[in-house]
Amino acid sequence: MTDRPFLLAQISDLHVTDRPGAKTPDAAARLQRVLGALAAHRPDAILATGDLVDEGSASEYALLREILADAPAPVFLLPGNHDDASALRRAFLEHAYLPEQPPLCFTLEHLPLRVVAVDQTFPGLEGGLFMPEHAEWMHAALSADPATPTIVALHHPPFLMHTRFDEVGLDGADLFTAVIERHPQVRRIVCGHVHRAVIGRVAHADVMTCPSTAQAFTPNFDDESAPAADDPPGYLLHAWRPRAGLATFVMSA
């Protein structure tokens, strides 16, 4: 194989903050470290799957804009539960793929792998909600191009972690699964939220969560909160060739 694969980098849970005393005061520096590592791989696009900043403030988004100006590929932004979707949209007005008002669901049609991104976050909720209106939008988006291999992106994992993260997981995951079942072109579901790479399955599609660029959590299966871990900042690389399929690499910077 001499042709280069299409490379979609995924970053998540950046938690960029300018707030003194924040839990991850070095989140901005760690994101810059990841972007530097990504440059060596020459990705074709970068997908950020939520919790882009820590508190959703205008100043945090201004700092995020400044950092992402040095990204080695176009960056596409999906909000998480720490984000303010309206403030995010105002801060990135030139991101024309985003709708003018929340929810910030979007499709990317110009890539070799189609991306359908679902914003299932709600103000004040740490968990996610997948409601009938999300199902209607996602079904319509997937039905618009049933032939092109597709990645579906969201912030909250649509499968159980068997940890305390399930308490703030995706409410409506059964409805999400019912939509995915109708669309065999979905090759992978990608998300964030849990600050660690975890593999699951929904209907016929594998699911992968992305490590955090800011801070990892150690899984705790004894119904207790997940303690912070001293892992390096992480990210995913999704490599795609039409005839060979999709391979995902769990990376650290």
Per the structure block, which two tokens stand in for 91?
């801060």
Write down the CATH number for the domain with range 6-252. 3.60.21.10
> 185 near 148, Cβ under 8 Å?
yes
List the one residue out of 73, 64, 62, 79 whose CA is nearest residue 28. Answer: 64
Residue spans per domain, the chain: 6-252
List the one residue out of 202, 117, 200, 203 whose CA is nearest residue 165. Answer: 200
CA gap 226, 212 in Å, rounded? 14
Q: How far is CA 243 from CA 3, 184, 246, in A?
A: 12, 16, 9
Exposure class string for 195-206: b at 16+ Cβ within 10 A, else e: bbbbebebbebe
The DSSP element (H or E) to which 132 belongs, if any, is helix 132-143
Q: How many CB atoms lie within 10 A of CB 90?
A: 11
**pLDDT per residue over 147-178, tens digit each?**
999 999 999 999 999 988 899 999 999 999 99
Task: Tell me the pairing of strands 234-241 and 245-252.
Answer: antiparallel
Secondary structure of residue 128 in the 3-state scheme = strand
CA gap 216, 243 in Å, rounded? 34
Sign of torsion over alpha carbons 180, 181, 187, 189 = positive
CA gap 252, 236 in Å, rounded? 8
Q: Which residues pair with 209 in a beta bridge?
A: 191
List the one residue out of 38, 14, 39 whose CA is nearest residue 27. Answer: 14
- Residue type at position 225: S
CA gap 213, 192 in Å, rounded? 11
Q: How far is CA 169 from CA 134, 155, 178, in A?
A: 16, 9, 17
* pLDDT mean by block of 10 residues, the chain; 253 residues: 87 93 85 97 98 96 97 98 97 97 97 97 95 98 97 98 91 98 98 96 98 90 76 96 95 96
pLDDT of amino acid 2: 57
